[in-house]
Structures are given as C-alpha cells and as structure tokens.
Amino acid sequence: MKNTEFKPKKHKKVRWWIPVICIVIFFMYIWPFYELIIMSIKDITDISSSKMWLSQGAHWENYLAVIKKSDIWIGFKNSIIYTGATIFLEITFASMAGYSLSRGSKKTTRTVRAVQMALLMVPGIITLVGTYSLMVNLGLTNSLLALAFLTAAGGIPGCSFIYMNFINSIPRQLDEAARIDGAGLFTTFFRVILPQLTPLTVTRAIMIGIGAWNNYLLPLYLLNDSRKRTIILVIRSAFSINGGDRDIAMACATCTIGILPVIVVYLLLQKKIIASQIGSSVKG
Amino acid sequence: MQKKLDRKYFLFMLPAILMVVGLRFFPIGNAFRMAFFNWNGYSPNMKFIGFDNFKKALSDEYFWIALRNTLIYAFGITIVKNVLGLALAFFVDQKFHGRAAIRATIYLPVMISGFIMGQIMYYFYQYDGGILNEILSWFNIEPVYWMKTGLSSTFVVLLTTSFLHCGSTMLLYLAGLQNIPHELLESARLDGASSWKEKLHITIPLLQPSMITSVVLNLIASFKIYDIISSLSKGGPDGGSTSLTLYISQQYFNYNKAGYAAGIAMWFFFVIIIISVPINKWLSSKKVEY
C-alpha cells in the first residue's frame, strides 16, 4: 500500500533560476528609463556616440537649462490644473451616482451596467470627432476645465460602478440614522457615507490622476495654445521642435523631469496602487 | 415617502447622467451625423452626401491597411499580453525575496504615458545608431532595419506595447490566483500532480474568470491603440503601421476631411461592436465551478 501520510512539500530546494529571472526582468523593464537618463546627460552636440553609455562626462547642466525655460513649468501648472479638476469632477459625480445606484432600485442598476459596458467600447477618437467642432465654436478649445469635464465624463460610468460596489457593503441603517438626526441626502452622503470610503477615494484619485496626467489624444488636439500645453505636450514638442537628432539630450532631459512626478507618486504609493488594481479586478 | 426618496436619488445621479449623455452619447450621435456630410470641419456649408463617406472608405486602400493593422493590434496585443501576463503572474505568485519589487518594476511602464514610452523605445529600434543594432554590432551582425515595412513596424509596435503593458494583465491574473481556494491545489499536490501538470490542468482552468475579464478588457483597449504608435512608428512607413484612431485623426486634423473622418470612425465603432459583443457574450456564457 502506498504511503498516504501527509507530507508537506519542502520549499527548501534551492531555486537558482528565480534570482536569475528576477535580474533579467528587472533590467529589461528598467532599461528604457536608463537609456532616457543616459541620453539626457549627453553633450547636446554629440549625436553619434553610443546610446548605451556615456562616452564623455555627464552633462547635468542639460537639466539646468530645461528648468530655466518656462515651458516645463507651464506644462506642470497646466497638468496640475487639468489633473486636479478631472479628479475632483470624476470622484464627486461618480461617487454620488454610485450612492444613488446602490440605494435606488436595482432595475436601474442593470441598465447602467449595460450602458457602462457599451460605452467602454466607444473609442476616444469618436468623442474627439464628435465634439471638436463644437468646442471650437463655443470657444472651449484651450480650456483646461472643458478638457477635464470631457475626460471625467469618460471615466464616470466605470468609477460610479466601483463606488456602488463599495457602498453596497455599507448598511442602510447608517443612512437612516443620519436622516433621523435631520440630515438631508446631501449631508448624509458627504458627511457620513463618503468618509467611510476614504481608502477607495484615495486609490481612485491616484488612478484617475495618473490617467489624466498621461492623457494624450484629447489634449493634443484640444489644447493648441502653447501656454495651455500639458506636460506631455511640452515633452512632445521638445522631441519634435528641432526635428532630427539635434536636441535629443534636451528633449530627454525635459522628458525625465516631466515623468518624475508620476514616478515619485508611483514609488511612494506603489503598494497601494498595486493592491487596488488587484482588488478592483476581483470586485469587477 | 419612498417615491420622494427615489426622486432625490435620481437628482443625486443627475450630474453624472448629464455628463455621460452630453459628453459621451452626444458626441457619438454628432459624429454619426457628420458622417453623412461632405465637410471640412469648420466652414458653415455642409453638403449632405448620404452614404458616400461610408462607401468611399471601402475603396480607400489606407483605410483597409489601418483596419487590418487595428485588428492585428487588437488580437495580437491581447494574445501576447495574456501569455506574458499569465507567465509573469505565476512567477511573482511564488514566495521569494523581492517579489514585491519585481511586481512594481513590471507595472512601472503602465504608469508612464504611452506616448513617452514609445518615444524612448523608438531609440531602441532606430536603424542608424539604434540601441538594438548597436548590440548586434558587438556580435558582428549587420544592422537590422526593424521598421522597414509596414508589417514589420506593426509587429514592432505590437510586441513593444505588449511587453511594456503586460503588468496590468499580470495583476489581473495575480488577483485570480489569489482567489483560487487553497484546498484545491493541496489536494492536487497530494494526488501527486507535478507543478507543471498542476498549473496546466488545475490552475489555468480555474483562472477562467480572470481570463475572460482580461481578454475582453485588453481587446477593447487595444482596438483604440494610438499613443504608442504616434511616437514609436508614427504610423509609418507610408501609413503601413497606422491604426484606425491614428488614421481618423489624420484625416480630420491634417487633411480637414471631418465628414470622411467621421465616416471611418463609424466603421471603426461598428467593427469593435461586431467583434467585442459576441466574444464578450461567448466568454461570459462559460462559467467555472470550483
């Protein structure tokens, strides 16, 4: 007879390939960023030397030159306004909608879910094609706020669904208790319900913020004024302005500074971001 | 009382409804209307031309190239991202030191604008002085013209995007792996299943819900590919790697053919629907039971 005694597998076996794969993965994914930095500290007249490493000294003064130009600061300012407005609009309206979806009748919930799924399939280019001429006529191109409304509207269906899922787990008694105390719906929601969801709101805000910060298609066509450019558009013009290879170093320095905020936010909050990505896909 | 409350709840939802109707539904309707006109996008005279824009697209060689590429992107990226994402999820699901760091590293490019990642990756594939060709030169291999033809550029974009963005798919599968009841794997192990067999016959079938979500979401997202192409291959050479989004924006903004652009956009929307809806339905009809 076979021995059926339970013996947990020992995990002591030396798995030499794990660190090897780790190192390979690490270098492959860091490589593009390494190249960006190497290219950004080359001499601006040096266009032919190897991109893999520095052949001469590091020219950190490229960064100084970028910081001294106003472009990058205009880009940061606009990106912050646009990103902040998008986060505010999307979170406020989506959480409100999520609340009424959760507390209202279930029939609407099903309709809204179908609508959300359908809207997911609409490519962003249709939004652009369908709104561009109107935005021009209404004088809303070059308006960061109008762009924020447009961006937030794209995220509202999905975001309100996530809020609905979370609010479902908050007992209705809490609403009723607040109502007995004389609070209206508005106060009940913003003072009692929404504060319960702060962790969700924080992670949603981060994800919406990063999405808006990186948004490219809509800002590219809706913000033509160089004073209204977001940081991504500033980086884009740094890469294309002189054409050819002439100012790669400057463009790369602009690019490095431009993505720094996202990288810092990511490094600080990566645990939260990754956990929320895993969590939201389970709730799905 | 309840009725009054329902109306209040409706008012609460109103801003969201207005925004979605005004800024999502309305543009679709407006783009649909524009598709029936010969219009440059700004002049006051629009000429009604019926279905001509739709017909014109069908005889436009570049429309077919863009459509073909968009389908290659959508299915190719979905497949490669899922294979890579699943493999990486299995890898980082093991217990070892530094796995959180590896997870975070793989996910990092997802956080950065696709336009910027494409711009950086462009310097890898450059013919003259590109990084990959420089590495080849160490081994005395002739430089490769990575983006010589439309199709080769398309595959460069496809593989680059999949590689850079498979972190999101990895997290989806990781969530799925953490949801599988532990007893199931334990009992398989007791029955003597090897680690590979266990993965192939037990874990992967149990991951079906994650797989469905991942395939549907990636398919829909990859149809819309734009950012990374616009810097990596710029749709070139000669429109050979362009996607529909890129082609539509060029028709509208570079050639001032707003009506035609809207017509292509409607074809685009139609293609997404006839492909995504059946796949979504078919996949959702399959349910796993633990």
pLDDT (tens digit, 9 = 90+) per residue, B133-148?
989 988 988 888 888 8
Interatomic CA distance for residues A9 and A13, integer angstroms = 10
Window B:173-192, CB contacts with A under 8 Å: 174-176, 178-179, 189-190
Residues of chain A contacting B168 with CB distance shorter than 8 Å: 277
Residues A214 and A6 sit within 8 Å (Cβ to Cβ): no
Residues of chain A contacting B27 with CB distance shorter than 8 Å: 126-131
**How much is the pLDDT for A2?**
46
Closest-CA residue of chain B to A239: B119
Residue with tokens 């016959």: B201
Best residue in A96, A129, A235, A262 to probe B by mutation, most B CBs within 10 Å?
A129
For B38, the enclosing helix (H) or strand (E) is strand B37-38
A121 touching B (Cβ < 8 Å): yes
Interatomic CA distance for residues A41 and A165, integer angstroms = 48
Interatomic CA distance for residues B288 and A266, integer angstroms = 35
Q: Give me Rg for the CA atoms of chain A.
A: 25
A190 touching B (Cβ < 8 Å): no
Residues 6+ apart with CB under 8 A from A273: A203, A206, A207, A266, B107, B111
In this structure, how many other beta carbons lie within 10 angstroms of the beta carbon of residue A204? 23
Q: Quick check: B95 and A30 CB within 8 A?
A: no
Which has the closest alpha carbon to A203: A97, A283, A116, A115?
Answer: A283
Interatomic CA distance for residues A154 and A90, integer angstroms = 9
Instruction: Enter the DSSP assignment of B142.
Output: P
Using CB atoms, pick whichever of B20, B129, B227 lies closest to residue A48: B129
Give every residue of chain B whose pLDDT is below 70, as ranges.
Answer: 1-4, 192-193, 286-290
Q: Quick check: B106 and A25 CB within 8 A?
A: yes
Residues in chain B: 290
Distance from CA of A109 to the nearest CA of B (A): 12
**How much is the pLDDT for A233?**
93
The structure's pTM equals: 0.89
Closest-CA residue of chain B to A119: B24
Residues 6+ apart with CB under 8 A from A266: A210, A273, B104, B108, B111
**How much is the pLDDT for A9?**
52
Interatomic CA distance for residues A15 and B105, integer angstroms = 21
Which has the closest alpha carbon to A232: A272, A264, A259?
Answer: A259
Residues A126 and B265 sit within 8 Å (Cβ to Cβ): yes
Residue with tokens 């078919």: B282
Q: How many whole angstroms from its chain centre is CA A283?
A: 20
Using CB atoms, pick whichever of B20, B113, B130 lies closest to residue A156: B20
What letters, b where the CB count within 10 A reaches 16 and e where it falls short, cover B233-252? bbbeeebbbbbbbbbbbbbb
**How much is the pLDDT for A1?**
42
The torsion of the CA quartet B167, A149, B16, A96, rounded to 10 degrees, works out to: 70
Using CB atoms, pick whichever of A48, A123, A129 lies closest to residue B252: A129
Q: Quick check: B96 and A263 CB within 8 A?
A: no
Q: Quick check: A93 and B261 CB within 8 A?
A: no
Instruction: Enter the DSSP assignment of B37.
Output: E
CA distances from A153 to A147, A165, A171 (A): 10, 19, 29
A94 touching B (Cβ < 8 Å): yes
Sign for the CA dihedral angle at A241, A28, B227, A283 comes to negative
**How much is the pLDDT for A283?**
44
Residue with tokens 């790669």: A248
pLDDT per residue, tens digit, chain A (284 aa), is 444 455 555 555 667 888 899 999 999 999 999 999 998 888 777 767 777 777 777 788 888 888 888 889 999 999 999 999 999 999 999 999 999 888 877 777 777 778 888 888 888 899 899 888 888 888 888 999 999 999 999 999 889 888 988 998 889 888 888 888 888 888 888 988 899 999 899 989 999 999 999 999 999 999 988 889 999 999 998 888 655 445 888 889 999 999 999 999 999 988 888 888 776 655 43
What is the number of alpha carbons within 13 Å of residue A119 lying toward its C-beta?
23
ipTM of the complex, rounded to two decimals: 0.88
A17 touching B (Cβ < 8 Å): no
Which CATH number describes the domain made up of B50-284? 1.10.3720.10
Using CB atoms, pick whichever of A6, A39, A127 lies closest to residue B24: A127
Window B:125-184, CB contacts with A under 8 Å: 129-131, 134-135, 163, 168, 171-172, 174-176, 178-179
Residues of chain B contacting A22 with CB distance shorter than 8 Å: 96, 98, 102
Q: What angle do CA A119, A123, A127 make, to 5 degrees?
A: 85
Which has the closest alpha carbon to A207: A140, A247, A267, A155?
Answer: A155
**The 3-state secondary structure of chain A, one letter per residue:** CCCCCCCCCCCCCCCCHHHHHHHHHHHHHHHHHHHHHHHHCCCCCCCCCCCCCCCCCCCCHHHHHHHHCHHHHHHHHHHHHHHHHHHHHHHHHHHHHHHHHHHCCHHHHHHHHHHHHHHHCCCHHHHHHHHHHHHHHCCCCCCHHHHHHHHHHHHHHHHHHHHHHHHHCCCHHHHHHHHHCCCCHHHHHHHHHHHHCHHHHHHHHHHHHHHHHHCCHHHHHHCCCHHHCCHHHHHHHHHHCCCCCCCHHHHHHHHHHHHHHHHHHHHHHHHHHHHHHHHHHHHC
Which CATH architecture group holds A64-283? Orthogonal Bundle (1.10)
- Spell out the domain ranges in chain A: 64-283
What is the number of alpha carbons within 13 Å of residue B45 lying toward its C-beta?
1
Residues A85 and A68 sit within 8 Å (Cβ to Cβ): no
Q: How many whole angstroms from its chain centre is CA A145?
A: 17
Residue with tokens 């912050």: A80
For B2, the enclosing helix (H) or strand (E) is helix B2-20
